Structure 1
């Protein structure tokens, strides 16, 4: 099946601006499946970090710990986390991270199995050392307020005092932490007289909360203590809150929902958040469910929240996130986008071997039927700068071809696959436009050349970066296989909508040559008659004939085009004679003896 797609951005955006599958949406913030996000801005490295549950497998299996990081809140990368070797390898949920206000160490806590484990490091990336003596967790289920007290602990710093909020439903509480200044080890502080509850360790059960299930997050603003938390589950998840005059309460429930399901904007199950201030503005970082709905394919989002005294803006969930509006993060992202490196594939015409369907089914926890949608995972979704969308072929091998619209000097391709910490095997090939009239011709061509062969790939990073130096108009990404979750423990009871189709791509990006210090001949130099020397193109003719010379800039525009009749002999041409500005160009030269192309860099 031939599937094609072409973006007409002006019309598309003007009619459905902010729709879930619009090009250039800011939410989800990250590609891949990352739930229960804990966001931290590290002033020491001027970097944002998001620690999260690695999703995309059944909740009882969650593994593959990772961190996303960015300096500009626009370009994000992922890195695996090296946790203490004796920590359990699965059931890793809801991490929380902080830099200690006085000792400068970084602390990372996960709820794992039925306990809360904590580690420290000198960097936000690790490696991480257990922060409790021996191989012990910070606490186990039942040590504080009851059997569900180990769920979702999250740091809260009040000036120089560090607390954790924790627990589920009536077992939701707060405890104060103590840090050894010499060893950096952590324990639950039993000296605070306000902590009047607890079984093994001292804590305070929080009073005055309502509609609270899990995922508590406390922050302080204008002398008031806010605690947010999630209610319900899955596609009906939502975020509510309460306010008090002290971190131990009592709290007053505010009957106002900050985040909730929004069918009109195709937003499902926003919840389990962290809150942070950047500049003069406050933001809520949370996950929402994959659309169409698939169990445990949650994605990280962010939106600004606004205050009027104790009142927080309701229905703050959006598809645009901080890519629209005004605020400190919005300004940072706008600046980053203004400096955006040219992605030649963005919004271009694409064709694919096939487009997989959303297969539909009944969800597990919150029972709801979802209908089948044919050709749901569209080819154009791979070139739209939207982390809510992806292209998935219905069978393997499956390919995607991008028509860049003109020939360019290509230096790099970046591919973001669906599961960002899994290994994908693929190939990237290229064609020039010689003899190719359109993308259908390219699809049928037998002349594809290799740009990058990852058919034996073992690398699990995101995005995967492949470099080369070629002249190309058409790029072809062929998906072969991947190391996907297949064991029953990984996919047990998941809504079986598209588990077979996860060899898929969030984004495929193509970047031009930008190094103006490099000259490279990428054409076939027949008879050794064409060379670049001292800034001039030299060529020789063995007989009289027509010489065609064309120069194209990196935007694909022809800036010089001329033909001459030349007698036999040696000749040269200087691109500077065309009064070209400094930059990268593709110079095409055709003589009776040969035809070749060269990437040329002109310096000032």
Structure 2
């Protein structure tokens, strides 16, 4: 590990100790919204607390070697507070893993008695084996403590799925109320979850990889994300390599949670803006402001000072408004300096 990487890790560990301290600056600071290096952001709104939460891959470590998920909370999507470590893949919290905690997904599920449970899905390096596998941990609070299932949720590929078991997304269909899981690097797969949220219905696994495209537009690479609006299921994904300035978000729509996906005529949601030194804008999640038709996209970008030095592991989390045309298509987003 380089001196700069060690310094970045030391700073992040120090920040982790300052639990409850507001770490992102005030509204006028804007993007990035989290301190230090973070990637693969997952945003969640909690009906239990009335706050927003971001879970992310800890970045700034050579070889994508981060092994902790920090969780940050906000009441306004602008000022974020470090709530500490949600999951540690090198501790007894995940006994079957030894590190490389990547790309979280999280969901709040209301229980029959009116309480809430939080499910945090993740990919990690197992103690045995060389390929990443997928896990899930459960908590009664969005900040944890999260308790791992005790074994991987998904440890092998299904037919037609030939890449790594990473970049998980979880989605509860507001129409059927059924939960779904999506994942895949070099492929996109989707499947229905059991009501327990901790088991995949194997018979429903569907390969959904969008066909065609190039690195200039929508060629699928990784990071599926799903949301629902006005009768349509929107599928988003990342194009190109996470270390490329061209890393960007594309999308399509479907009439059901398992596709098929129709790629949008103008599929690019967000792409680099070199004039303003903004690069690698991808691996995103989306949040709808409760009770409104206001939508926001949370994504990572390459820290401009690391564009030529380990760009794939020096990423930072940002947020922007996401708007729609009258026909439901997504208006292309110009990466900004942050919410006003």
TM-score (norm 1): 0.45
| Distance in 2, Cα, partners of 1:276 & 1:97 | 12
- Equivalent residue number for residue 86 of structure 1: 95
Helix, strand or coil at the partner of 1:264: helix
Helix, strand or coil at the partner of 1:188: coil
- Aligned residue-pair number: 282
- Equivalent residue number for residue 249 of structure 2: 239
In the alignment, does 2:218 pair up with 1:205? Answer: no
* Deviation (angstroms), 1:216: 0.5
Q: What is the 5 A alignment of 1:147-226?
A: 147-159=162-174, 160-169=177-186, 171-180=187-196, 186-190=198-202, 195=204, 203-206=205-208, 208-210=210-212, 211-226=219-234
* Deviation (angstroms), 1:124: 0.9
- Equivalent residue number for residue 62 of structure 1: 66
* Deviation (angstroms), 1:87: 4.3
Check conservation: 1:242, 1:252, Cα contact below 8 A. yes
| Distance in 1, Cα, partners of 2:144 & 2:262 | 39
* Deviation (angstroms), 1:262: 0.7
* Deviation (angstroms), 1:71: 2.3
Check conservation: 1:54, 1:65, Cα contact below 8 A. yes
| Distance in 1, Cα, partners of 2:146 & 2:160 | 28
- Equivalent residue number for residue 75 of structure 1: 79
- Equivalent residue number for residue 318 of structure 2: 301
Check conservation: 1:156, 1:219, Cα contact below 8 A. yes
Check conservation: 1:141, 1:148, Cα contact below 8 A. no
Q: What is the 5 A alignment of 1:319-330?
A: 319=337, 321-323=338-340
Distance 1:67 1:209, change over 3 A: farther
| Distance in 2, Cα, partners of 1:242 & 1:101 | 29
Check conservation: 2:302, 2:316, Cα contact below 8 A. yes
* Deviation (angstroms), 1:25: 3.8
Distance 1:298 1:41, change over 3 A: same
| Distance in 1, Cα, partners of 2:94 & 2:74 | 27
Check conservation: 1:141, 1:147, Cα contact below 8 A. no
Distance 1:124 1:62, change over 3 A: same
Distance 1:310 1:75, change over 3 A: closer
* Deviation (angstroms), 1:101: 4.2
Check conservation: 1:274, 1:284, Cα contact below 8 A. yes
| Distance in 2, Cα, partners of 1:261 & 1:283 | 18
- Equivalent residue number for residue 276 of structure 2: 265
Check conservation: 2:157, 2:165, Cα contact below 8 A. yes
- Equivalent residue number for residue 136 of structure 1: 151
Among 223, 227, 250, the residue aligned to 2:235: 227
Check conservation: 1:166, 1:172, Cα contact below 8 A. yes
In the alignment, does 2:253 pair up with 1:249? Answer: no
Which protein is bigger by CA-based radius of gyration? 1
| Distance in 1, Cα, partners of 2:209 & 2:137 | 30
TM-score (norm 2): 0.78
| Distance in 1, Cα, partners of 2:121 & 2:319 | 22
Check conservation: 2:234, 2:253, Cα contact below 8 A. yes
- Equivalent residue number for residue 281 of structure 1: 294
| Distance in 2, Cα, partners of 1:312 & 1:179 | 31
Distance 1:253 1:82, change over 3 A: closer
Cα-to-partner distance string for 1:241-291 (whole Å, 9 max, x where unaligned):
111111111111113311111111110100000011013211111000101
* Deviation (angstroms), 1:148: 1.6
| Distance in 1, Cα, partners of 2:274 & 2:67 | 31
- Equivalent residue number for residue 24 of structure 1: 28
* Deviation (angstroms), 1:168: 2.2
Cα-to-partner distance string for 1:207-249 (whole Å, 9 max, x where unaligned):
5444110010011111111100001122221000111111111
| Distance in 2, Cα, partners of 1:318 & 1:37 | 17
Check conservation: 1:261, 1:269, Cα contact below 8 A. yes
| Distance in 2, Cα, partners of 1:190 & 1:147 | 16
| Distance in 2, Cα, partners of 1:156 & 1:144 | 22
Mark the runs of 5 or more structure 2 residues left unpaired by the alignment. 1-26, 126-131, 213-218
Question: Which structure is higher in RCO with an 8 Å CA cutoff and minimum separation 6?
Answer: 2
Q: What is the 5 A alignment of 1:381-420?
A: none
Check conservation: 2:170, 2:179, Cα contact below 8 A. yes
